[in-house]
DNA sequence: TGACAACCGGAACGGTGGTTCCGTATCCTG
DNA sequence: CAGGATACGGAACCACCGTTCCGGTTGTCA
């Protein structure tokens, strides 16, 4: 592989990471190329499609979350679940692409990236453990919680992340089983 | 106004109401026209723009919510707020267009329809009253609550409304002040 | 019933965004 | 340093959507 080619891949990845995080997955390809200082043709030689590009980036985020979930699997069930939820919310509020991916299941890359599948399973395990321990109300599903969290991050993300903190904390409180009288 | 013209307006309104409710505001104009059994030209003769069309529809929903808010203004603060929240959530879960409008403030019709402004003020009043009465935690803003609720309706709306019930109830619980220890 | 104004359908336009293509520039090897 | 493979830029292409336009149709009134 030629040296300038490798350098351009780096540039594109950097530009894409920044833009996806700030603007979400809907940012135009041309803009990413412009930010990277290359033409769209160059971008497309290294990434066959736009989806491939943001998959490459989002997978890293998903893996870091997945690793964190694995770590927390050993802690006390309730504590583990809520800690993970808070961290996931914080991350999603900062990276719009993450929120986009986690929220709109069918739109892009469902089975394309197995990491997402894996993360969802880990998340569900954390939730079920917390429910079994009586820390979380038993009638919510994993999808419910993700939707709640991502909704807060996506719609609240307009004004910035400070608001997301409050919303995540409201969600956490609402999920605690002992709050239902 | 000719008879067939009036009849076509009716058809378009009916088709738009159904499609907006089911698919959200992003449904193409052509599809609405097709469902109404008319050409796009006909649609555009009666509604100058797509926005005008869904404004015509959504305003009805907003007004019904606004009326409900007015009614509840007399009830006990906490009760009033949570009742309204639940009803708003239920309605938004059933009508995607409503959720779209309430969620994305800047995208469409901000000052175009004063009803929305009015509703937001009423909502904020309900919230502040509930907070003053100690029924709702004091650190959430009206925007926070709307974002939370609309996020749940929009991202959860994929699978249907049953899930939305649970999510709204989680939000309600999380908002109660006495739940924070 | 005839004729005109109102109305209709849908093809065409303009803009946006993803993807492709090709003439040109650049890197690397001999 | 020369020649060819490799990579580059960005114009061109295609699909989608909101909107406009115009030749044909249809309701209505005399």
Query: Which of A66, A169, A175 has its CA nearest to residue A113?
Result: A66
Is the pLDDT score of A111 beyond 60? Answer: no
Residues of A in contact with B154 (CB under 8 A): 151, 154-155
Q: Give the closest nucleotide to B41 (alpha carbon vs C1').
A: C9
pLDDT score of B106: 45
Residues of B in contact with A148 (CB under 8 A): 148, 151-152, 156, 167, 170-171
CB-based contact (8 Å) between A148 and chain B?
A: yes
Stretch(es) of chain B classified as CATH 1.10.10.60? 1-47
Question: If you compute the radius of gyration of chain A from its CA atoms, what whole number of angstroms results?
Answer: 18
How would you class B116 by CB atoms within 10 Å of its CB: exposed for 0-12, middle for 13-18, buried for 19 or more?
A: buried
Which residues are registered as beta bridge partners of B176? B136
A151 within 8 A of B103, measured Cβ to Cβ? no
Q: Is the CB of B112 under 7 A from strand D?
A: no
pLDDT score of B25: 96
What average pLDDT score do residues A32-57 get?
A: 97
Q: How many CB pairs under 8 A join A and B?
A: 115
Q: What is the mean pLDDT of chain A?
A: 92
| CB < 7 A to strand D: residues 8-37, chain A | 8, 37
CB-based contact (8 Å) between B2 and chain A?
A: no
Alpha helices in chain A (DSSP H): 3-23, 29-36, 40-46, 50-72, 77-94, 96-103, 114-132, 142-156, 162-175
Residues of A in contact with B170 (CB under 8 A): 137, 140, 144, 148, 171, 174-175
pLDDT (tens digit, 9 = 90+) per residue, B73-90? 999 999 999 999 999 999
- A170:B148 CB<8 A: yes
- pLDDT range class, residue A107, cuts 50, 70, 90: very low
The integer distance in angstroms from the CA atom of B3 to the C1' atom of C2 is 20
pLDDT score of B39: 98
CB-based contact (8 Å) between B138 and chain A?
A: no
State the architecture of A58-179 in CATH terms.
Answer: Orthogonal Bundle (1.10)
pLDDT score of B158: 63
Q: Is the CB of B52 under 7 A from strand C?
A: no
What average pLDDT score do residues A77-104 get?
A: 95
Q: What is the mean pLDDT of chain B?
A: 92
A118 within 8 A of A66, measured Cβ to Cβ? yes
pLDDT score of B161: 64
Reading chain B (181 residues) residue by residue, the pLDDT tens digits are 999 999 999 999 999 999 999 999 999 999 999 999 999 999 999 999 999 999 999 999 999 999 999 999 999 999 999 999 999 999 999 999 999 999 875 444 555 678 999 999 999 999 999 999 999 999 999 999 999 999 889 887 666 666 789 999 999 999 998 765 4
Residues of B in contact with A105 (CB under 8 A): 158
Is the pLDDT score of A12 beyond 80? Answer: yes
Q: A164: distance to nearest CA of chain B, Å?
A: 8
Q: Give the pair of three-digit tokens for residue B64.
A: 């019904």
CB-based contact (8 Å) between A107 and chain B?
A: no
The integer distance in angstroms from the CA atom of B52 to the C1' atom of C18 is 30
pLDDT score of A163: 79
Per-residue exposure over A35-58, b if at least 16 CB sit within 10 Å of its own CB, e if not: bbebeeebbeebbeebeebbbbbb
Pick the CATH number of A1-47 from 1.20.1250.20, 1.10.10.60, 1.10.10.10, 3.30.1490.20: 1.10.10.60
Q: Give the closest nucleotide to B45 (alpha carbon vs C1').
A: C7
CB-based contact (8 Å) between B144 and chain A?
A: yes
Stretch(es) of chain A classified as CATH 1.10.357.10? 58-179
């Amino acid at each position: 592989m030629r040296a300038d080619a490798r350098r351009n891949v780096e540039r594109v990845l950097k530009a894409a990471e920044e833009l996806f995080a700030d603007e979400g997955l809907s940012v135009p390809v041309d803009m990413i190329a412009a930010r990277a200082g290359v033409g769209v043709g160059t971008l497309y030689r290294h990434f066959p499609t736009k989806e491939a590009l943001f998959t490459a980036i989002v997978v890293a985020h998903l893996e870091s979350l997945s690793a964190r979930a694995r770590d927390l699997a050993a802690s006390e069930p309730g504590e583990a679940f809520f800690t993970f939820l808070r961290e996931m919310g914080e991350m999603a509020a900062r990276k719009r692409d993450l929120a986009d991916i986690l929220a709109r299941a069918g739109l892009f890359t469902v089975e394309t990236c197995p990491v997402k599948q894996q993360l969802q399973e880990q998340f569900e395990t954390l939730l079920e453990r917390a429910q079994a321990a009586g820390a979380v109300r038993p009638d919510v599903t994993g999808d419910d919680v993700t939707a709640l969290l991502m909704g807060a991050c996506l719609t609240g993300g307009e004004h910035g992340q400070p608001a997301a903190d409050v919303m995540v904390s409201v969600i956490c409180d609402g999920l605690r089983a002992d709050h239902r009288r």
